[in-house]
Amino acid sequence: MSLYLLLPILAVIVLFANLGRLKSLGFPLAVFGLIVAAVLAGFQIGLDHRLLRGMAEFDTFASAFSLLVIVLTILVVLLLGSPSGRTEVPRAEKAALVIFSLTGAVMLTSYTNLVMLFLGIEILSIPVYVLVGTRKSDVKGNEAALKYFLNGSFATGILLFGIGLIYAGTGQFSLGGILLWTQANSSGIHPLFHLGLLFILFGLAFKVSAAPFHFWTPDVYEGAPTAVTAYMSTVVKIAAFAAFFRLLYRAFPMAAESWLWIIGLLAVLTLLVGNLGALAQGGFKRLMAYSGISHAGYLLIALLATGSMAMGTLWLYTAAYAAATMIAFVAWARIEEGGEGDAIAAFAGLRSRSPFLAFGLALAMLSLVGVPPLGGFFGKLFVFANAVGQGKIALVVFAVVMSAIGMVYYLRPLIQAWFNEPRVMAKLPLRAAELAVVGFCMLVLVGLAAAPAWVLGAF
């Protein structure tokens, strides 16, 4: 069974189970179904097959990124089911919404047609608009949901307008057809084609929180439930970057002169805004929002590099980033549940309240910085190496300087956790789901560092 069928059917079953007498089975069924989907995606790696008359294709790239977003979704669903993830919406309904959104994420990793790109973004986004507002009595949550919906609607309109202009210029929606058209008309491409490409890039830049399309990110991350914020900062961002990569290298490699400088400029602005903005934050979720913006800048640099290692490098970086980010949000959800405020100072004394969680937070923050020998270090290493190989030396030097700035704000939670005395003396034990998520992500960070060559060779 294709993931295109399995995931929406699973979401509907979970949703209707919650409406009937089988409410207790809805959530376990969601977790079990997602595990089946992850196994299916894993078995598809190395196999190529087309769906929907060629509008989608599960090649190695699509299967590997589908596996990554499905595994991350399993972790998010586990968090939604824990007490720290409670809202006024039943957990099975939230799980169903997440699975519906995951269907769009899988579409973004495997599309070969611009119509599928549009549908994937909409299916990915609409359930998240609802999830952001699931704390119905929370003013910040309602504000975040409205901001995300309005900004997302404008971005989708821009993307759709760009798709229309591309079709007007080429007569093609398929990525392969656009590539063939650009190869045949490389000397006489109409300006509307370039304008359409620009609009599509801007629409996708919104989804990955690239500057100057990042303004929604801090407020939405802060107002959303922490488990939903974890989903947005990992699954949504990774799916959007996978879509970015497929678009640029499946449809527009012959028009690289039109988009290379745009991606480079977006990378510089995003790194600058993300890292400098994070320095000024006092709340942890807003700090992580700007952290996500800065990492979007590093991933934009990854889009500039071609060659045999480009896909593997993108997967390695996103996997390491997602694992570290997930640990950070689990730690914050546990702190937040105690009602200790939203300031970074709430981490004070975490080493004595929960040594395992403090150790996991240390691995996460150091990996996000890029400290060896963690997975985040190898992600940045290969991104920078590929960019240097493409002659982007000045851009890499700038990115390294931004990484050094990142050390300042990533160490702030660690200083609070390891060197400051706790404001609350009560222990902070992890529940089974939280322990599983943190333990798994720690293994991922160490595993990626132990075998980066294996990951790159898989592509």
Using an 8 Å Cβ cutoff, are 214 and 293 in contact?
yes
Domain assignment present for 1: no
pLDDT of residue 81: 76
- When pLDDT is cut at 50, 70 and 90, the band that residue 458 belongs to is confident
- When pLDDT is cut at 50, 70 and 90, the band that residue 439 belongs to is very high
Percent of the chain with pLDDT over 90: 68
For 235, the token pair is: 């699954």
Domain assignment present for 66: no
Phi, psi (rounded to 5 degrees) for 283: -95, 145
Quickly tell me which residue has 């979401």 as its tokens: 11
Domain assignment present for 217: no
Whether the predicted pLDDT of 389 surpasses 60: yes
Instruction: Give 175-201 as a DSSP string.
Output: HHHHHHHHHHTTT---HHHHHHHHHHH
Using an 8 Å Cβ cutoff, are 355 and 429 in contact?
no
Using an 8 Å Cβ cutoff, are 143 and 91 in contact?
no
Domain assignment present for 121: no
* Most confident of the following: 189-198, 324-333, 424-433: 324-333
Residues 6 or more apart from 80 whose CB is under 8 A from it?
91, 94, 95, 98, 227
For 280, the token pair is: 């000024």
Residue 111 DSSP symbol:
B
What is the three-class DSSP state of 428?
coil
- When pLDDT is cut at 50, 70 and 90, the band that residue 339 belongs to is low
User: For 426-438, what is the mean pLDDT?
Assistant: 88
pTM for this model (two decimals): 0.95
Domain assignment present for 296: yes
- Residue 87 has a CB neighbour count (10 Å cut-off) of 20
Q: What is the mean pLDDT of the chain?
A: 90
How far apart are the C-alpha atoms of 378 and 375, rounded to whole Å? Answer: 5
How far apart are the C-alpha atoms of 245 and 241, rounded to whole Å? Answer: 6
Q: Is the peptide bond before 8 cis (omega within 30 degrees of 0)?
A: no
Domain assignment present for 224: no
Closest CA to 402 of 364, 424, 373, 370: 370
Using an 8 Å Cβ cutoff, are 292 and 209 in contact?
yes
For 267, the token pair is: 């990378």
Domain assignment present for 189: no
In the chain, count of helices (H) and strands (E)? Answer: 20, 2
How far apart are the C-alpha atoms of 101 and 87, rounded to whole Å? Answer: 18
Phi, psi (rounded to 5 degrees) for 50: -100, 150
The total of structural domains in the chain comes to 1
Phi, psi (rounded to 5 degrees) for 251: -115, -35
For 417, the token pair is: 């956790």
Which residue range(s) make up the domain with 270?
252-459
Q: pLDDT tens across 127-174, in order?
A: 999 999 888 888 888 999 999 999 999 999 999 999 999 999 888 999
Residue 270: strand pairing partners:
none
Whether the predicted pLDDT of 1 surpasses 60: no
Q: pLDDT tens across 4-58, in order?
A: 999 999 999 998 887 766 677 888 899 999 999 999 999 988 788 888 888 999 9
Phi, psi (rounded to 5 degrees) for 307: 105, 175
pLDDT of residue 118: 96
Domain assignment present for 411: yes
